[in-house]
Amino acid sequence: MTSPSDDAERIITSQPPPEPGSDLVLPGEVMPNTLHLLPLTERPFFPAQSVPVLMNDTPWVDTIKAIGDTAHQLAGLVVVDTRDADQAQPEDFRLIGTAVRMHHPMRNSGKLQFIAEGLQRFRILDWISKQPPYLVRVEFPDDVLDEEEQLKAYGIAIINTLKELVPLNPLYSEELKFFLNRFNPNEPSALTDFAASLTTASRDELQEVLETTHVLERMKKVLVLIKKELEVARLQVEIREQVEEKLSEQQRKFFLREQLKAIQKELGISKDDRTADSERFKQRLENLAMPEAVQRRIDDELQKFSVLESGSPEYAVTRNYLDWMTSMPWGRYSEDNLDLDHARDILARDHDGLEDVKDRIIEFLAVGNLKGEVAGSILLLVGPPGVGKTSIGRSVADALGRRFYRFSLGGMRDEAEIKGHRRTYIGAMPGKFAQALKEAGVANPVIMLDEIDKIGASFHGDPASALLEVLDPEQNSEFLDHYLDVRLDLSKTLFICTANQLDTIPSPLLDRMEVIRLSGYITEEKVLIAKHHLWPRQLDKAGIPRTRLRITDAAIRRVIEGYAREAGVRNLEKQLRKLIRKTAVQFVKRKSRAKPVRIGTQQVEALLGKPVFARERPFAGVGIVTGLAWTALGGATLNIEATLVHSRNRGFKLTGQLGEVMRESADIAYSYVASHLQEFGGRRDFFDEAFVHLHVPEGATPKDGPSAGITMATALLSLARGQRIKRPVAMTGELTLTGRVLPVGGIREKVIAARRNRVFEVILPEANRRDYEELPGHITEKMTAHFAARYQDVVRLVFPE
C-alpha cells in the first residue's frame, strides 16, 4: 500500500493509536457490546483479513471520529443491500458483519482511508442510533466446532487447494504469507475465512459463508468456492500460455524470415520487396504495346518507386498505381470471328424467335466483315423485362469470339464509377471501364451496360453525362480515366446497352446509340423457348433426368395462356420451375419406384392452382372500344368505356389514373366528335344536353401517352349513335382537332398484345403502315390490319353502314 501524501490530514482522535501488537484482541478477550457501523457494497469483510478500506468522507467522517474516540477503536463492517453506500439506511444493513480494528485513519482529497484488521463476527441485536454515525448493540456468536475428524479432513483439502492456487497467481502467495504470520493454519475457522477472502465469488455467496457459524458447514461451502477459483485460475493460465505461445511462434517466424531475407540477399538469391515488385512490373510490360505517353508515365512512376521508402504512404499509392497500369491490356486484342454462318448458328442456338433482331445483328456483323473489324458501334437493346436482352449480348460476344464483361448501371449515382477516382484519395480505384479491360485481358471486349435507363444522378455527379465520352465513337479512342490519368483507347470495344424504355435515357446519350427493339414473344415463340431452353435448364438445375419428367406442348401452352401472359419469359420460367418442384415432391415420396412422369394440361391446373388469367373476349357494347397501348413491360389492350350519366346539362368527366397527355387526347376526342357528330350519323345536339363519363379501367395503374385519341373518339361516337361495334377490333392512333390520325410507336408490341387477346383485326395510322409491313410473318399471320389517315376512315371501318 502506498503511503499517504504529505498534504493528507490525519484524523485527530481523543486517544493515541495503539502500539503495534499491544492491543490485539486475542481469542476469549471481552469484546464491546456496541459498535459503530460502516457499510460495504462489493463484498463482505472476513475476520482473517487485514486490508485498506476507502470511502467518501462526507457522510462517514463523523463515524470515523466516533470510532477513534472509543477505547477499543473497533468498528463493524457490514454488507448493505444498496449500490450507493453513502445512501445506506438501517434497513439496508445485513444482520451479520465483521468487527474490525481501525488503524491509521487518513483523510485526503474527499476520501477516508484506514487499515481494517478483521477480528470476529458479530450479529446486530438492535439499533441505538438510526442516524449516522450508526450505533448498534451486538453479540458475538461462537463458532460451532464438532466432528474433529471431518474438520481436519476438510482443512487438509482446503490447504491442498490453496497450495495449487499459489503457483498460478503470485498474489495468493503474498496473502498466504500474511495469513501465516497472524494465524495458526490448524485453526479451521480462521483458515476457512481466509480461503473465502481469496475467492472472487459473488457478494451473496460470500455473505452466506460469513453468516455460517457452524464451521464444518462453512468449510464445505468454502471448499466449493476455492475449487471454482482453482478452475478459473487454471483456465486463465492456459489462455495466457496459448497467447504467449502464439506470439512467440509469430515472433520466431518473423525473425527467421528476416534472417532468411538477409542471407538470401547476401548470396544474391533473392531481392527485397521493392526490387521484386519493380521486376514484376517490368516483366508485365514486355509483351505490351503501349502508347508513348503511357510508356513515359510508367517509366517516371518506376523511377519514383525505386527511391521511395517502403513505409511511406506514397509508396503504397505508387505501387497500386503501377499494379493497375501494368495490368491493363495495352495493345492486346483478340481476333474477331466474322463468319456470318457461325454467328447465325450461335444466335439460333441460344434464342428462339426474335428473327428481326437476329437479322439486325447479322447485318451489323456483316458490316464488320466488310470493314475487317467490329468497332465504333454502340448497340442499345430496348424491350420489356425477360425477353433476353442480356443473353443476346452474351451471344454476340460468343459469335465474335470476344471476352464478355457485364455490369449494371441501375441506381448508379457517382460519376467516379465511370471515370475513376483521383488516385490521391484513400481507397481510390479506376472506373468500371478500366476494370473491364483488366478483367477481360484484351482491349476489345464486349462490354454490356445493363439497365442504362435506370441510371441516377446525385451530388456526387451525373454518371449519364460521364457516359457521353465513353459511348461516343468519335471520342472514346482517348477516354481519360481519372485514376490512371492516361488516355485509354475504347474505340475497339463493342458496347451493348440494355433498357426497358427510352424515355428516361438522356437525349444526347441516346443519340450516340443504335436502337434495336425487342418487343416480346407471341405464344408460339414462347412454346419453342420453353421446350428448347427453359424446361431443359430447369430440369438440369433440379437434377432430374430429362427422360424421367416430360411436359407436352399443350401443357406449355396452357401455362403460357393461363399463368404467364407477360411479354417476356421470366415468369414462364418461374411457373415451369414450380411444376418441377411439385413433381419432385412426388418423386421423393415414391423414392426409387417412381416411374417417368408426363405433365399434360390436366396436371397443370392441379399443380399450379387455378389460372391467373381467364380466357376472356374483348368487352363489347355501346360506348366500349378496345384500344392498344405500349408499356415498359410490353404491349397491352385497353378497354375504354363511355356512358351517359344524365341529360339535364352538358358535362364531361374523365377517370382512370390518366396522365396529362391522355387527358388532352380525351379533350380533343370529345371536342372533335361533338363538332362532327351529325357528319358521323349522330344527333347534332346529343352532347349539348348529355353529361358523359369516359373511363379507362384498371384505374390504379398510371397511364399516359399519345396513342388513345381515335379509341376515345370511337367510344364517344358509339355512345352518341347508340350503336356497338359488331366485331372484335382493336385500334391505336392519335387524333387532331382537324381529324388527322397521327402515327404512334410500339406497333410490334401492340400487334402482339392484340394477338395475345385473340383480336385479329386492328386499325393503325396510315403513317405506321411501314412499321406493320416490316413485322415478321409469324406475327402478322391471320391478322387483318386497316390503316387510317383521317378519322373518317376509322368511322367507315367500325360503322360500315
* Catalytic residue set: 707, 750
Closest by CA position to 732, among listed 626, 631, 642, 632: 626
Cα separation, 192 vs 194, in Å, equals 5
Cα 565 to Cα 527, 551, 569, 751, distances in angstroms: 12, 19, 9, 14
Helix (H, G, I), strand (E, B) or coil at 551: strand
DSSP code, position 768: G
Closest by CA position to 721, among listed 713, 711, 729: 713
On the CB side of 548, CA atoms within 13 Å amount to: 16
Cα separation, 338 vs 400, in Å, equals 6
143 and 189 Cβ atoms separated by less than 8 Å: yes
Q: Residue 446 phi/psi, 5° resolution?
A: -100, 115
The number of angstroms, rounded, from the C-alpha of 181 to the middle of its chain's C-alpha atoms is 66
Cα separation, 678 vs 795, in Å, equals 13
759 and 734 Cβ atoms separated by less than 8 Å: no
158 and 223 Cβ atoms separated by less than 8 Å: yes
Cα separation, 650 vs 690, in Å, equals 5
492 and 442 Cβ atoms separated by less than 8 Å: no
784 and 760 Cβ atoms separated by less than 8 Å: yes
Closest by CA position to 556, among listed 529, 538, 588: 529
Q: What amino acid occupies position 696?
A: V
Cell representation of residue 536:
431443359
Cell representation of residue 160:
491442498
Q: Work out the angle at residue 142's Cα, subtended by the Cα atoms of residues 138 and 146, and round it to the nearest 5 degrees.
A: 160
Cα separation, 40 vs 81, in Å, equals 9
Cell representation of residue 390:
442480356
3-state secondary structure 588-642: HHHHHHCCCEEECHHHHHHHHCCCCCCCCCCCCCCCEEEEEEEECCEEEEEEEEE
Q: List b or e across 430-468, with b for residues whose CB sees 16 or more CB atoms inside 10 angstroms.
A: bbbbbbbbeebebbbbbbbbbbbbbbeeeeebbbbebbb
E strand map for 27-186: 34-40, 50-56, 74-79, 96-108, 111-129, 135-139
Cell representation of residue 40:
460495504
DSSP code, position 390: H
Q: What amino acid occupies position 271?
A: K
Cα separation, 565 vs 425, in Å, equals 51
- In the chain the first and final C-alpha atoms are separated, in Å, by 118
Cα separation, 755 vs 779, in Å, equals 8
Cα separation, 663 vs 650, in Å, equals 18
Residue 33 CB coordination number (10 Å)? 12
118 and 47 Cβ atoms separated by less than 8 Å: yes
On the CB side of 36, CA atoms within 13 Å amount to: 21
